[in-house]
Amino acid sequence: MKILLCFGTRPEAIKMAPLFHELRKSKFDVKVCVTAQHRKMLDQVLEFFAITPDYDLDLMQQNQSLNSLSASILEKIDAVLLKEKPDLVLVHGDTTTSSMVSLAAFHLGLKVGHVEAGLRTYNKLSPFPEELNRQLVSRIADIHFTPTLRATQNLLEEGIDRKSIVQVGNTVVDALFWTLDKIKEKSYTNNEIALLNNNISFDKKMILVTGHRRESFGDGFKNLCEALLTISERKDVIIVYPVHLNPNVKRTVYELLSNRDNIYLIDPISYPAFVWVMKQSYLIVTDSGGIQEEAPSLGKPILVTRTVSERPEGIEAGFSILVGTDKKKIITAVNAILDNLKDFEQRTNPYGNGDASEKIVAYLSNQFNN
């Protein structure tokens, strides 16, 4: 059985990496195609997880529009699909790469498997454009690998055939545990971790901040930064903020948060370094979807700077709190956690225990044998 894995961003690569290696162990004929929708950040993940793509479309362009990116993916992926003629194309999540590769495969009559299927907000503008990317892939996919019961129920309510849905957990937890084990090895070295450890004092309660969502550009990031300025007045905290390279984010963050003794604005860091920083954190403020799934396994509370999340399980389990980009809500929620954190490390991650890739491969092996 020939399987083609297609992805283009750092989050996709992280979540597909353990599945790639599990497929290889099970002796599937596995090919990898990257669109390089992200370039530098994608390459870091490929190197860390020892993945060498068979095809690299290298499509990243400065300030590229979604429409031009979509057109480029549709045009360039065609030759790969026609050459390989895979039995199954595996895509992940909610990216432009996932939706366009799925559409291209459908046009050629190829089967599509969707990893991390079924997440929904049912608000087409949040997250944008990811919500509609997911829904498009769901209409195309032949196999839906869902991470949670809620995701499975979403698909059933949309009329997806129950026989095509396989609930497995989230592969990001597999990747997280693999990375934690790797960075514990005595032989492993990472210059970024060494620099962070040497240049930042982690003897106070560390707040890790990330942000990149388009819907927060402008006033959203301004409100977040103003909230962080207020929080930084506390003597018991430090704030570490790997600042996204998008100029709509970077400009605002550096204008408002530079030159504060306990706010560390740093360049984006590699995945293993980021996992290490998450491990050191007291709480995380983020608009990321993947971090909402990773942090529970580390026992870390999360403030989600979005008005709605396609990952409600973390909220229901008490790990995540939706605060949007409301300055007052952010300040109040951060102070409440800093002053009253209890029992987070004893809670169970609703997104799985690290065996999602094994379950996916077991299902595919069974289908292939039959």
- Which residue ranges make up each domain of the chain? 2-169+354-369, 190-346
Query: Which pLDDT value is given to residue 160?
Result: 98
Q: 3.40.50.2000, 1.10.357.10, 3.30.70.260, 1.20.1600.10: which CATH number matches 190-346?
A: 3.40.50.2000
Catalytic residues: 94, 116, 130, 212, 214, 244
Q: pLDDT of 67-76, one tens digit each? A: 999 999 999 9
Residue 285 exposed, middle or buried by CB count within 10 Å (0-12, 13-18, 19+):
buried
C-alpha 295 chain-centroid distance:
12
Q: pLDDT of 271-304, one tens digit each? A: 999 999 999 999 999 999 899 999 999 999 999 9
Compute CA distances 273 → 140, 188, 201, whole Å: 36, 12, 16
Query: Which pLDDT value is given to residue 166?
Result: 98
Nearest by Cα to 338 from 367, 308, 295, 303 = 303
Q: What is the DSSP letter of 349?
A: P
Find all residues with CB under 8 Å of 149, minimum gap 6, and list them: 167
Q: pLDDT of 299-321, one tens digit each? A: 999 999 999 999 999 999 999 99
**Number of residues assigned to the chain:** 370
Q: How confident is the model over 138-167, as a mean pLDDT? A: 98
Question: Distance between CA 263 and CA 239 in Å, rounded?
Answer: 5
Hey, do 2-169+354-369 and 190-346 end up sharing a CATH topology, with the first three levels equal? yes
Q: pLDDT of 190-240, one tens digit each? A: 999 999 999 998 899 999 999 887 777 789 889 999 999 999 999 999 999
Secondary structure class of 5 (helix, strand, coil): strand
Query: Which pLDDT value is given to residue 369?
Result: 67
Q: pLDDT of 99-114, one tens digit each? A: 999 999 999 999 999 9
Query: Which pLDDT value is given to residue 2?
Result: 96
Compute CA distances 124 → 52, 134, 149, 184, whole Å: 35, 10, 22, 41
Thinking of the domain 2-169+354-369, which architecture would CATH place it in?
3-Layer(aba) Sandwich (3.40)
Model pTM?
Answer: 0.92
Any bridge partners for residue 4, and if so which? Answer: 31, 89
* 202, 280 Cβ separation under 8 angstroms: yes
Find all residues with CB under 8 Å of 307, minimum gap 6, and list them: 126, 322, 324
